[in-house]
Chain A
């Protein structure tokens, strides 16, 4: 089955803790993206990567970090510097300038 897999589905973070969200795709897509969704707001871009070992900041990159060591993987770390991390996180992938496909999301809650 081709697609995008995000894990875990639910994640709980304690204050001051770093957590990493996983995103894997087997679509052979070059580009991968991380978005954050808050109630009543549109999705906002955190980071994106067009090629292995390269990535760019989106609109709300502060408090987040990423890596792109393999074409199929684009993990997102939510650091302790992110003061309001509770949100729904969505990963997407595409060939450049073509249709984007999304994973099922990870819901992160601060406890």
Chain B
């Protein structure tokens, strides 16, 4: 059964810092891996999707990498802003129906 761990569980940084959020998963037989953002009391917003054949994906200030064989993914946030404050979730997808498995997330706070 797939298990997902995200480190750190919480992070508080001053505005402008570059950040690295880590995700590890136990089953490398995945189709893809998705990173999401969740604001309090809201649904999930998709940030990046990395297919299993890809090594990384970029969108604006966000860059995600995937090392499928070692079961790791990293989300890099450049020049953090207060609006980046949210919980970040990674979810590898696999098995019949490409089911996503979630960790408990990294709660990020970016302060002025």
Contacts and interface: CB of A to CB of B under 8 A. Distances in A.
A in complex with B: yes
Interface of A: 6, 31, 33, 35, 40-45, 48, 50, 56, 58, 90, 92, 94, 96-105, 107
Interface residues of B, number: 25
Interface of B: 4, 31-32, 34, 36, 41-46, 49, 89, 91, 93, 96-105
A42 B44 contact: no
Contacts of A94: 98
B34 A100 contact: yes
B43 A31 contact: no
Contact of B46 (A42, A101, A105): A101
A43 B102 contact: yes
A67 to B, nearest CB: 17
B46 A99 contact: yes
A99 B49 contact: yes
Given A33-B99, A45-B99, A100 B105 contact: no
A105 B43 contact: yes
Contacts of B89: 42-43
A99 B34 CA distance: 7
Contacts of A56: 96-97
A42 B43 contact: no
Contact of B98 (A42, A96, A101, A105): A96
A49 to B, nearest CB: 8
